[in-house]
């Protein structure tokens, strides 16, 4: 009877150790997955940070210039609510009405360069003086080859499926 009890004890100990080992291994595997996910996210963030550092002023200016029509449209939107313009004589031989609206439009348009400068930190004059530099730094088109020219020196190989 002692041998049976001792055998049962050893069996229970072995089962408990097996469950503990399996639980430990599962926990370590889950921790490794969490660590690897965190490491991948950190690498992705570093790559994004590098990309943002390379996103230079020219790109910011390009975004601003491409959005200028929408900005002006939004600034002029209140004028769309005008449904009637009354021309009034001012008594000194001049009229008011249409000229006031035109003046308002000019005042709104005059605000655009100041808005651009406050958003970009660059004046419109400075931007236009740099346009040639920005264009010179862009990608160059590949030179065109004369008709019938073979860039590989006549040694082109046909692609074959294997």
Q: Render pLDDT for 81-123 as a digit per residue (tens, 0 to 9).
A: 766 666 666 666 655 555 666 677 777 778 878 887 887 777 8
Report the pLDDT value the prediction gives residue 114, as an integer from 0 to 100: 83
How far is CA 137 from its chain centroid? 21
* pLDDT (tens digit per residue) in 1-47: 778 989 999 999 999 999 999 999 999 999 999 999 999 999 999 88
pLDDT of residue 14: 95
120 Cβ neighbours under 8 A, 6+ residues apart:
57, 60, 61, 64, 127
pLDDT band at 131; cut points 50, 70, 90: low
Give the DSSP H or E segment for 95: strand 95-96
User: Where does 55-92 have alpha helices with state H?
Assistant: 57-76
Confidence class for position 157, pLDDT limits 50, 70, 90: very low
pLDDT value, residue 132: 62
Q: Rounded CA gap, 112 and 109, in Å? A: 6
Largest Cα separation within the chain, whole Å, is 128
pTM: predicted TM-score of the whole model, two decimal places: 0.32
């Amino acid at each position: 009877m002692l041998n049976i009890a001792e055998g049962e004890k050893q069996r229970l100990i072995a089962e408990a150790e097996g469950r503990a080992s399996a639980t430990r291994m599962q926990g370590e595997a889950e921790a490794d997955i969490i660590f690897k996910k965190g490491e991948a996210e950190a690498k992705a963030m570093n790559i994004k940070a590098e990309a943002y550092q390379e996103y230079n002023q020219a790109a910011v200016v390009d975004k601003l210039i491409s959005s200028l029509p929408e900005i002006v449209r939004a600034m002029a939107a209140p004028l769309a609510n005008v449904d009637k313009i009354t021309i009034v004589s001012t008594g000194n031989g001049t009229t008011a009405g249409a000229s006031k609206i035109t003046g308002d439009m000019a005042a709104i348009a005059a605000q655009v360069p100041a808005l651009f400068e406050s958003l970009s930190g660059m004046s419109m004059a400075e931007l236009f003086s740099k346009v040639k530099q920005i264009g010179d730094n862009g990608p160059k088109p590949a030179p065109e080859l004369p008709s019938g020219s073979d860039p590989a020196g006549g040694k082109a190989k046909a692609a074959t499926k294997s």
